[in-house]
């Protein structure tokens, strides 16, 4: 019995330590690839809901299913944490002989963890364990009420920029919607625009790479997706850097680099080792590029004369992220044909000028 009690106490300590490690990595430690337990719970929730979502043909219906990813993930993670704590303290209470049966130890542990206090162990060791477990239970509840508003705020901040871009897309989101709207609006602060999108990409990396489940949460408005907004912003800044005679090149360069790094970090978390390497020329078409440049000239932009050099530079810039887009789209269940992630599309650029939504 002595060996059995010692073994039970060691297992109980390990379970409590596993809980502490998990909750600290999720809530405090600011590093990627953090907690394996939270990642497993997230994988379980995503796999289950993805199977249900794939039964639908409409992306709106898929978004309705994926909207449950975050609440179910948080609820299940808290249930797992409660289970670890109760199992660990049940073994500690039983091994300390505070309760002489495992069932009574389990009930006493549940009493302390739920802070109901209907069954307190009679000896001092058991009572001390009950105090620690009760404080742990309160900590889990505080986590629940603290982090849900934080997650919701993160989604809302992401959505503000996505909705802003879709509102200016006119008849449809296209690869160069951002840069075209800027020209049509008559604005002149390129530097401010690229810095604004740089901040959006930076926040995206800091939140969605640390908590990958946020990437699956759909936008508030049906039919919109943050991945398409990111693709449009990167295509626009790539065209700006490669083809336009403009002044805000440093800000645009930083925006491009930040956006590429953000997508790469998120893809590493969602896809891992399956993240593809960039393949030169994938999804690119020179006629589409030339048509886009001609359209920008018609809108009054100063485009560089050496079109061949511009094309090579644009292809080089887009190669840095184009392989990540279909990979992320597949993981997030975003239809490629709706988010314009694979190839340049300029067929309806002319219609965008008729309804650009150019007012602030």
Q: Is the dihedral of CA 290, 293, 298, 304 positive or negative?
A: negative
Burial pattern 182-201, b for ≥16 Cβ within 10 A else e, equals bbbeeeeebbebbbebbebb
Q: Does the structure show a pLDDT above 50 at 193?
A: yes
Confidence of residue 360 (pLDDT cuts 50, 70, 90): very low
Instruction: Give the DSSP H or E segment for 91.
Output: helix 69-95
pLDDT of residue 233: 93
Q: How confident is the model at residue 350 (pLDDT cuts 50, 70, 90)?
A: very low
Contact 121, 98 (CB under 8 A): yes
Instruction: Specify whether the CB–CB gap between 251 and 360 falls below 8 A.
Output: no
Nearest one of 127, 114, 125 to 85, comparing CA atoms: 114
Average pLDDT of span 194-217: 92
Q: What is the pLDDT of residue 120?
A: 78
Cross-strand partners of 244: 303
Quote the pTM value. 0.81
From first CA to last CA, the distance across the chain in angstroms is 76
In 3D, which of 322, 215, 203, 205 has the Cα closest to residue 270? 215
Q: Compute the C-alpha angle 304/307/313, nearest 5°.
A: 90
Residue 186, both tokens: 């008559």
Tokens, residue 50: 């993805």
CB-based contacts of 98, cutoff 8 Å, min separation 6: 105, 108, 121, 122, 123, 125, 126, 127, 129
Q: Per the structure block, which two tokens stand in for 30?
A: 């600011």
Q: How confident is the model at residue 347 (pLDDT cuts 50, 70, 90)?
A: very low
In percent, the amount of the chain with pLDDT more than 70 equals 87
**Greater model confidence, 287 or 15:** 15
**pLDDT (tens digit, 9 = 90+) per residue, 9-22?**
899 899 999 998 98
Mean pLDDT over the full length of the chain: 82
Q: Cβ contacts of residue 235 below 8 Å, gap of 6+?
A: 175, 176, 318, 344
What's the pLDDT band for 264 if we cut at 50, 70, 90? very high
**Nearest C-alpha neighbor of 85 from the set 7, 151, 141:** 141
pLDDT beyond 50 at 345: no
| Burial class of residue 53 in the structure, from the number of CB atoms within 10 Å of its CB (0-12 exposed, 13-18 middle, 19+ buried) | buried
> Cβ neighbours of residue 75 under 8 Å, at least 6 residues apart?
none
- Please report which confidence band the pLDDT of residue 30 belongs to, taking 50, 70 and 90 as the band edges: low
The answer to whether residue 342 scores a pLDDT higher than 70 is no
pLDDT given at position 54: 85
Per-residue pLDDT at 348 exceeds 60: no
pLDDT band at 352, cuts 50/70/90?
very low
* CA dihedral of residues 221, 226, 233, 173 (deg, nearest 10): -40
């Amino acid at each position: 019995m002595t060996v059995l009690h010692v073994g039970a106490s060691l297992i109980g300590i390990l379970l409590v330590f596993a809980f502490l490690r998990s909750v600290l990595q999720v809530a405090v430690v600011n590093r990627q690839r953090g907690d394996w337990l939270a990642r497993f719970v997230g994988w379980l929730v995503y796999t289950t809901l993805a199977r249900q979502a794939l039964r639908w043909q409409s992306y709106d219906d898929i978004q309705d299913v994926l909207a449950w990813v975050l609440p179910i993930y948080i609820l299940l993670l808290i249930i797992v944490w409660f289970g670890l704590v109760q199992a660990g303290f049940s073994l500690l209470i039983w091994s300390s002989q505070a309760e002489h049966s495992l069932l009574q130890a389990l009930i006493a542990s549940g009493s302390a963890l739920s802070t109901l206090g209907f069954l307190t162990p009679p000896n001092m060791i058991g009572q001390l364990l009950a105090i620690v477990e009760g404080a742990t239970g309160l900590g889990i509840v505080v986590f629940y009420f603290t982090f849900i508003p934080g997650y919701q705020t993160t989604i809302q901040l992401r959505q503000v920029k996505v909705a802003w871009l879709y509102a200016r897309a006119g008849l449809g989101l296209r690869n160069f919607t951002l840069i075209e709207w800027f020209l049509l609006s008559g604005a002149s602060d390129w530097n401010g625009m690229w810095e604004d999108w740089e901040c959006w990409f930076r926040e995206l990396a800091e939140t969605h790479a640390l908590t990958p489940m946020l990437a699956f949460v759909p936008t508030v408005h049906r039919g919109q997706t943050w991945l398409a907004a990111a693709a449009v912003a990167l295509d626009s800044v790539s065209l700006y850097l490669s083809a336009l005679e403009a002044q805000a090149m440093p800000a645009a360069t930083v925006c491009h680099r930040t956006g590429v790094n953000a997508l790469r970090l998120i893809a590493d978390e969602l896809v891992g080792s399956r993240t593809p390497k960039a393949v030169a020329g994938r999804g690119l078409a020179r006629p589409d590029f030339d048509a886009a440049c001609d359209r920008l000239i018609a809108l009054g932009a100063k485009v560089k004369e050496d079109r061949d050099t511009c094309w090579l530079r644009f292809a080089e810039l887009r190669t840095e992220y184009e392989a990540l887009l279909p990979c992320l789209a597949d993981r997030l269940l975003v239809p490629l044909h709706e988010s314009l992630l694979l190839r340049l599309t300029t067929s309806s650029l002319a219609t965008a000028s008729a309804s650009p939504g150019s007012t602030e």
